[in-house]
A and B are shown apart, each in its own frame.
Chain A
Amino acid sequence: MQRHTFLKTILATSAAMLGLTATVAHAADPLEVPFYYPVAVGGPITKVIDGYAADFNKAHPQYKITPIYAGTYQETIVKALTANKSGKAPATSVLLSTDMFTLIDEDAIAPIDDFVKTDADKAWLKGFYPAFMANSQTGGKTWGVPFQRSTVVMYYNKDAFKEAGLDPNKAPATWKELNEAAKKLTKKDVNGNVTQYGIQIPSTGFAYWMLQTLTTPNDVLLANEAGTKVTFDNPKVIEALDFWVNLTKEGVHPKGVVEWGTTPKDFMEKKAAIIITTTGNLTNLKANAKFDFGVGQIAGNVRKGGSPTGGGNFYIFKKAPKEQQQAAFEFAKWVTQPERAAQWSMDSGYVAVSPAAYDTPALKKYGQEFPQALVARDQLPVSVAEFSTHDNQRVTKALNDAVQAALNGTKTSAQAMKDAQKEADRILRSYQ
C-alpha cells in the first residue's frame, strides 16, 4: 500500500517535470546559442563579453547567445573538444588561431566560407588585416574569424629610462640597443642582489611565441605554411635563442623560467624595466601602472622589427545544429563590425581586427590621447603568422621544453633545438 503511494508519487512527479520542461522549451522562443570563451589577459573581460552578448540579443530577439567563460585558452579548447566529442558541441568558441590545424584534423569546425553568401558578407571577410588571416586560412578555405588578436610588444618604464640616462621617448630598436639598454637599466643593492632587471621575457605557457619574437627579427620562420615541417635547428633560430640565453648569463634578465602571468606585475612593481609580452596586457597596465610607460615595437636584428601575431579566433562547430551555426556566424559578424571592434580594442588592449576599426572616430581619438595603443597595429605590416602546425599542442610542447632547457642551462641552445627538431619531425611524419 505504502509502496503504491510511493510509486504513484514518483510517477506524478516525473510526469509533472516532463510537462514542465515541455512548457519551458515552448516558452523559450529565442534559440539558445552556447558560446565558449577564454580569458588570457588582465581586466574585467568577462563583464565586457557578457555585455556584448546582451546587446546582440537585444538587437536579434530570435537568438540568445549564452557566453560561457571556460578558463584559459588551454582549458577552453579542452572543454570545447570534449563537448564536441560527446555530441553537444558549442555553436561557437573563441580559441587560439594556432589551433586551426588541430580543429580541422578533429573534423570539429565548419569553414566560414559556407556562411558567406551576400556581397556584404564577402566585403566583411575581406576587411580584416591580412596578417591576422594568415592563421585563419589554409587550403583555400577560411576557418576562423579574427577576434581577440594581438602582437607582441615591448613595454618600458620611462622613469627608469630617464634615471639610466636613456631617451624615454625612444624604445630600443635593435638587439644591440636592447642589450645595452638592459645593462644600463639593471640595478643592484649593496649585497650585489639585483633589485631591478633590465629586461624580462616570460618563458612559461607561451615560450614558443616569445622565441618567435626573436626569430622573426632574425629573418627565419619556424614552420612552413602547411604546418607540416618545422625549422627549429636552423642556425638563425639557434642564434635567436642564444641572444635570450645570453641576457640571463649577463645577469640583466632573471635566471630560470619566468612566469607568463606574473610578468606584468613584475613590471608594475618595478622589478623589470622592460618587458616583452602581448599587447593584450595594455589596458591592464594603463589602469594599474603608477608610472609613465612607453610601448615600443619589437626590436630588429637582421630584419627591421617583426612580431608574430597571436590571440584567438571565432570558430563555428560543425556538429552544432544548423540554426545555431548561423546564429554564431551572425554574432561573429556583429561583434567584429568596426565600431565594436574599436570598442573591444579599447576595453581589452587587443588589436582591432580591421583597418576600418581604426578609422572610427572613437578609436582615432583614443589613439591620439594614448598613442601606445597604436604600436601593435603599426607593426602588423612586418608581422608573421604565429607558430602553428598539425598536432600543434604536442609540437609546441617540444619547442617550449627546448626553450626552457636552454634558459636553465641544462642544454645548450643548439642541443635543445636539435632535440626539439627530432621530436617534431617524429610527430609530424604522418602529415607529410
Chain B
Amino acid sequence: MSASSSSAAGSGQRSIHAWLLLLPALVLLVTFTHWPAVATFIDSFYSTPKGARAAVWVGLENYETMVDDPVFWQAVRNNLWFAAATIPASIGLALLMAVWVNERIAGRTFIRMAYFTPTVLPMIAVANIWLFFYTPQYGLLEQVTTALGLPSHNWLGSPSTALGAVTLVAVWKEAGFFMIFYLAALQTLNPSLKEAAAIEGASRWYFFRRVQWPLLMPTTLFVLVNAVINAFRLVDHVFILTRGGPDNATTLLLYHLYEVGFKFWDTAYAAAITVVLVVVLASVALFQFFVLDKKVHYK
C-alpha cells in the first residue's frame, strides 16, 4: 500500500519533471510556430484593420478576392513554372557534381569547396553580382554574346527571359547545397559494392543505374522535399533582380504575399494567401513523406 503510493508519487514527480524539461522548447514552438499559424488562419476571415477602423468578420471574402486576383494567378503560374524548372535541374546537377567529386580526382577538395560556395554566400550579395552579369550592354553575359556577334538583349527587362534568368540563379544556388547531401550519402555506401561491380565487369553507368541510384533514393526524397519547399519560398533574389517585374513576369507566390502584406498593408488578404500556401506546401510534403517514402527504400 505504502509502496505503491510512493511509486505513484514518484511517477507523478517524474512527469512534472519531464514537462518542465520540455517547457522551454514547447514555449518557443507555440509562440513562434503554432500560435502565428492559428492566428493567421483566424485573421484570414476578418477584414484588414486600418487606423481607427477595427477588423470585422468578413467570412470568405478574402478568399474570393484571391480567386479574382489576376496577379495571384500569374504568381501561381510563374511559381509552377519556376518549380518545374528548378527542382529537376538542381537535383540532377547536384547528383552529377556529387558523383564526380566522390571520385579520386586531382584538386577534389578545391572543387568540392567551389561547388559549395554559392550556398555559403548571402543571397542578396549573390543577386547583386548576378544583376551585373545580366546588365544590358556591359554586363558579363553581354560581353560574351556581343563578342560572338549576337544581338544585345535585356535579360531581366524582357518578360520572355526575365523568369528564366531568375530561375538560373536559383539553380546555381541550390545545386551546391544538395550536392552536400548526395556526397554524404555516397560516402556511406559500402565500398565492397564497387569492388564487386568491378570484378563483374559492370560499366560505370550500369553501376550508377543499378547500384548507386537505388541506394541514394532516401536522400533523393529528402532533397526533393527541400527543393519543393525552396521553390515556393524563394523571395530574396527576386527583390534585387526584378522586384517581380517587368509587369509581374517574375512575381512568385511569396513575393506577391510580401507585396500584399507589407507594401499594400492588406494584412487580411495576405493571411488568406498564407493559409493557401501553407496548406498546399503541407499536403505536398505529407504526400512525399507518406506515399513516396514507402517506395524509396531499396530492399
Residues of A participating in the B interface, judged by any CB pair closer than 8 Å: 74, 78, 81-82, 102, 104-108, 191-195, 203-205, 254-259, 262, 266, 269, 271, 391, 393-394, 397, 400-402, 404-405, 407-408, 410
Contact = CB atoms under 8 A, between A and B. Distances in A.
A72 B131 CA distance: 17
A46 to B, nearest CB: 18
A106 B50 CA distance: 5
Nearest to A189: B146
Given A78-B263, A271-B138, A194 B157 contact: no
Given A257-B246, A271-B137, A405-B246, 17 more contacts: A107-B50, A191-B149, A203-B246, A204-B245, A205-B243, A254-B136, A255-B158, A256-B158, A257-B158, A259-B156, A269-B138, A391-B264, A393-B265, A397-B263, A400-B245, A408-B157, A408-B247
Interface of B: 50-52, 131, 135-138, 146, 149, 151-152, 154, 156-159, 242-243, 245-248, 259, 262-266
27 contacts: A74-B263, A78-B262, A81-B265, A106-B51, A106-B265, A107-B50, A107-B51, A193-B151, A195-B137, A204-B243, A204-B246, A254-B136, A254-B137, A256-B136, A256-B154, A256-B157, A256-B158, A257-B154, A257-B246, A258-B157, A262-B131, A393-B264, A393-B265, A394-B263, A394-B264, A397-B259, A405-B247
A194 B152 CA distance: 8
Nearest to A396: B263
A255 B155 CA distance: 10
Contacts of B157: 203, 254-259, 408
A404 B149 CA distance: 28
A142 B8 CA distance: 72
Contacts of A402: 247
A422 B265 CA distance: 21
Given A391-B264, A393-B264, A394-B264, A266 B137 contact: yes
Contacts of B156: 257, 259
A361 B121 CA distance: 49
Contacts of A262: 131, 135
Task: Select the residue from A78, A259, A397 with max chain B CB neighbours within 10 A.
Answer: A259
A256 B246 contact: yes
Given A78-B262, A105-B50, A271-B137, A410 B159 contact: yes
A401 B146 CA distance: 30
Contact of B265 (A102, A203, A255, A410): A102
B137 A408 contact: no
Interface of chain B, helix or strand or loop or mixed? loop
A385 B209 CA distance: 67
Contacts of A391: 264
Contacts of A205: 243
B127 to A, nearest CB: 12
A410 B151 contact: no
B246 A193 contact: no
Contacts of A257: 154, 156-158, 245-246
B263 A410 contact: no
Contacts of A254: 136-137, 154, 157
B154 A404 contact: no
A342 B167 CA distance: 47
B188 to A, nearest CB: 40
B154 A255 contact: yes
Given A102-B265, A255-B154, A255-B158, A408 B246 contact: yes
B66 to A, nearest CB: 15
Contact of B152 (A74, A104, A107, A193): A193
Contacts of A192: 151
B132 to A, nearest CB: 8
A197 to B, nearest CB: 8
Nearest to A427: B264
A400 B265 CA distance: 18
Nearest to A258: B157
B143 to A, nearest CB: 12
Contacts of A107: 50-52
Nearest to B243: A204
A431 to B, nearest CB: 11
A45 to B, nearest CB: 18
A143 B146 CA distance: 52
Contacts of B264: 391, 393-394, 397
A106 B265 CA distance: 9
Contacts of A405: 246-247
A259 B158 CA distance: 12
The 4 closest A-B pairs by CB, nearest first: A107-B51, A256-B157, A256-B154, A257-B157
A296 B67 CA distance: 48
A401 B159 CA distance: 12
Contacts of B245: 204, 257, 400-401, 404
Nearest to A405: B247
A390 to B, nearest CB: 10
A204 B244 CA distance: 10
A358 to B, nearest CB: 36
B130 to A, nearest CB: 13
Contacts of B248: 401
B256 to A, nearest CB: 11
Contacts of A269: 137-138
Contacts of B243: 204-205
A402 B246 CA distance: 10
A391 B242 CA distance: 23
Contacts of A108: 51
Contacts of B52: 107
Nearest to A395: B264
Contacts of A204: 242-243, 245-246
A391 B137 CA distance: 37
Contacts of B266: 394
Most-contacted residue by chain A among B156, B159, B242, B246 (CB, 10 A) = B246
